Structure formats: C-alpha cells, structure tokens
Amino acid sequence: MKKITTLFLGTLMMGSMTSPAQSLFKDLIPGGHPNSSNTEQYRNVGSNMFFLARVNSSNGYIHQLWKSDGTVNGTVKVKDSIFVSNTGSLVKLIGDLNGELLYVKRSTTSSTSNFQLWKSDGTAGGTVMIKQFGGNPLGTAGDPNNFTFAGSKMFFTVADAAGRELWVTDGSTMGTNMVIDLAPGFVTGTIPYSGAENQAMVAYNGKVYFAGSTTGADPELYSSDGTAVGTTVVYQYAGASGCNPDHFKVWNNELYFAANASGSNFHHLFKTDGTTTTQLSTGINAAYPLPFNNQLFFIGGFDLWKTNGTAGGTSLVTTNVSNAGFAGANNDFFFTKYNTSVYRSDGTAAGTTLASPDLGASASFNLINNIMYKTRLDIGSFTSVGLWASDGTDAGTSKIHYGTSTGFEHIFDNRVFFAETDAANGQELWSFDPSATTGVNEKLSEKNLLVYPNPTSGLIHIVFPEGSEATIEILDVLGNVLIKQNDLHQADLSNFAQGIYFIRMTNKTDSHTKRIIVK
C-alpha cells in the first residue's frame, strides 16, 4: 500500500484553545521597533538552543548571547555585549563541543583584525575566550572557517603568518593549535602559502578529511587525526593538477567525494575507506551526494544519479532536475533544486516531479514529521514572506504564517523558531508548534469522531457516539467557523475550495477534532 503523507496546516488549537500555533515566543527586548532583539544564528547545544540577539544602540549593534531550554522562563541572556559594531554581525556561532557552545568573533571591526575563539557553558562566568589568532595576512579571506567536529575535537582552518592551515581544538587553550604547516613558505615576500583549502571538511572514523596541498596549489585529499604525524595524503591525482576533492559525504561507513581523475577534467564520484579509493563514475561532473533509501543520490551535471556503492551500480535516474544540490530529505522523499524551481523525488524517474511553485527555490533541511518548514524572504514582494510548510505537493504546500521581515527558521524541541516583526514588539523571537495544530486529543478523536470519505469532493458523513449531544463545527485553516450545527451527520462541501479543513465535535465534557481534505 502506498504511504500517504498529509500536511496539516492552520491555527486551530486543541486542549486549552487559548494560543495560536505560531506566535511571539518571548519579547527579549521589550518595546516596539527599534527595541528589537533581531535574533539569528540558532545552535542546538545539548538540551539548549543558543542564539544571538543584535540589539540596536547609538553605537551600532550590541551582540548578546542568549540560550533557551524551550520554555519562556528558561530563555535567558547568557552574556551581554560580546561584541559591538556598526557593520552588522561579526560574531559566528559554531556548535556543540563536549556540551559547550563554541563561537568566534573579531577583536575589532577591521577586516585585518585578529580573531578570537570562545566557549560558553550557558553562564556568564563560563563564557570565556579560548585563544586569539593574530597576524592574519589575508583579511576577511583568512577568517576561521570550515568548522568540523570529530569525536571530542573540532577542526577548522584559519590564516595567520603561516598561511591558511588546519587547526584543532579540544576546547582548552593548551589544546588549541595548528595541526601542521602543510605548505611552508611564501608566494611573495608577504603572502604565505596556504596548505588547507578554504572549503568544507568532513569527519570520518575519528579523523577529519580535507583538501590540502604542500605547495599552496593543486590540492589533494588529506586526512588528519589532529597531529602532524597523523596528517597524510589519502588520494592524489596523477596529472599536472591536484584532484581538487570536495562534496564529501559519509555513507555506509565509507567516505564519498567528488574529485578529478586521470585523463579527465570532470569531477567524478569516488569513495574511500581511508586506505583504498575507488572511482564510481565517469564523464560527468559529480556533486552533492545524498543518502536516501539505502542508495546514494548525487547530481551529475544537471541530472539526478544514484549509486549502490559500486561502479556497476551507478546509474542515471532522470535528467535536468538540479544545478544547486539537495535540500531536505526524509523517509519518503527529498527535494532538489534547478534554478528557481524545486523538484520532489522518491528516488525514481517517475517519482521525480516539480514541487509546488509556491516554494520557489526555498526548500530547506528543516523537517518535522515528514513536513518541511521554510521561511521565505522574497525581495521586492511581501506576498510570500512568512513561514511555509510543505510535503512537496501543491495541495500540501501553504503559508501558515503571514510575516513581515521574517527571519530564517530553526528546528529545536520539535518546534520551528524564527524572528518576526510586529508593531508592538519589533523583531523578536517567535515559534511555531506543529503539535498545537494536530492537538493533544487527536488519538481520542479517532475513537469518538468518524468522518468519511476523506479526502472528499462533496458529501461527507459524520459519525459520533449516540447520546453525545454534540455540536459539530467545520473550520478553515485560520480557525474560522464555516458551518456550525447540533447533531450534524452530513455536510455538503462541494462548494468549498480545495485544501485542508477541520471538523470539531464538542459536547459537555470534551472536544475532538478531525482533519479533512477537500479535493
């Protein structure tokens, strides 16, 4: 039997019936604009969500560090004024290392300023600097970047007098060091060679894998355990230039990546176990590998390909569906993007179809219970700004919150958090709780309220226990009551627009709700 995923949208509430599913979570900086928190850069660390507040002041933006345990009272300021600038955010929250948040910031607003690595345990006293990096010869191009967690360590690249090289930290000052000066020397009298490429790295079997070079050019695939002696080349191209490895993905305990091969300038798909490296594809530019349903999908040129991990099991799925990689994936489907369009795919050619045009190019990695959540920040038009939810189909795609200056979404505690603006509060922290729409009594409603057929294109039948003396209401996704009648057992919905509706049964002691789709 084909599994059907139904998108549930709207602001209808169960239980207390007192607050909408999407609403102001907490007014961190009370008062209307410009008294706004402008929240951004959410990071989940243990049981907390850390984030930045950029508060307007006469001196520019005051950057505050906040955390939340998912409750209003547990959403508190950790440290004030971790940075002040008039040029926007010069603080970068990284992530969770051994239960603490790591972040970097500039020491001044200058592009040639030093950078500092900090950590926080969620208290002001436990928010301390780990190390300052100095002597950056590359300006903003030398900023700490490419943060990758492997075991109890974090690897990253940063430029100093040795050039851009690989660094490692265990969260302590003594344990924060350059791993190796892989490319000693200088291009000119002032610019040093860079041994580590400024691109994404990946953790695999306790090591970090990255594109590196001993000459400042022609990068090859390296791995490192965090020591100089444990930093070695894994795969290199026999030609005049390096293999230029990128697009790393770990799957089935092997590392997949795209790289050049002998006799070709194409980026082919490879895999390695750290010792043996195998080429899987030829004649295509491979990129963006994505595990899905026991296979690895990837983009070849503009086309969708898949592999089972062998050269013979690597084949084309369908053509002309992507030039920008993948967005979210779950057990049933994934999204891939081609220019401004989004495709929804179950991994087959027939099951790869255009998703709702309402998504634009806004597919995301943020999914809860098979539904993708995304804020749209369309420039030049406010018609699409807000929070959207989608199962990838037209019927299952809808704007569930009409926004103004809506910020990027983040998933924490099975809720969607985002910044939103209103006149009374300015731009503050909002949240959307999908469980507030599905309702705490949904399982009970399945026993006490039967609605069929569902989906429907017209007449529906409503069955509820005898003697319930129930009032039946039919509501739209905004909670507006369209029909209300005591002991209603049939309703004609043929004049209703296609979409999601709710049927609510209320008696003296209880209230239950069912979803219904009009097609």
pLDDT tens profile 194-215: 899 999 999 999 999 999 999 8
Alpha-carbon distance of 306 to 2, in angstroms, equals 22
Alpha-carbon distance of 518 to 22, in angstroms, equals 24
pLDDT at residue number 286: 93
Residue that the structure tokens 């290199």 belong to: 236
Mean pLDDT (the chain, rounded):
83
For the chain, the domains span 442-518
Q: What's the token pair of residue 492?
A: 């004609």
Give the pLDDT mean for 414-422. Answer: 92
Please return the burial class of 5, using the count of CB atoms within 10 Å of its CB with bins 0-12, 13-18 and 19+.
middle
Q: Which residue has the higher pLDDT, 375 or 156?
A: 156
CB within 8 A of 240, min separation 6: which ones? 218
pLDDT at residue number 16: 26
Split at pLDDT 50, 70, 90, the class of 422 is confident
270 membership: H or E segment, kind and range = strand 264-272
502 neighbors 493 (Cβ within 8 angstroms): no
- pLDDT of residue 9 exceeding 60, the answer is no
The C-alpha angle with vertex 44 and arms to 43 and 49, in degrees rounded to 5, equals: 85
- pLDDT of residue 517 exceeding 90, the answer is no
pLDDT at residue number 143: 81
3-state secondary structure at position 515: strand
CATH 3.40.50.150 at 442-518, yes or no: no
CB half-sphere exposure, 264, CA atoms < 13 A: 15
User: Residue 308's CB: how many other CB atoms inside 10 A?
Assistant: 13
Q: Is the peptide bond before 453 cis (omega within 30 degrees of 0)?
A: yes
Q: Which residue has the higher pLDDT, 185 or 103?
A: 103
User: Residue 362's CB: how many other CB atoms inside 10 A?
Assistant: 20
Closest CA to 370 of 389, 387, 398, 349: 389
25 neighbors 425 (Cβ within 8 angstroms): no
Split at pLDDT 50, 70, 90, the class of 290 is very high
pLDDT at residue number 14: 25
Q: What is the pTM of this model?
A: 0.78
Give the pLDDT mean for 253-271. Answer: 86
Each residue's pLDDT tens digit, 338-350:
877 788 899 999 9
Q: What's the token pair of residue 33?
A: 């604009």
Q: Is the peptide bond before 455 cis (omega within 30 degrees of 0)?
A: yes
- Provide, rounded to the nearest whole percent, the portion of the chain with pLDDT above 70: 84
Split at pLDDT 50, 70, 90, the class of 494 is confident
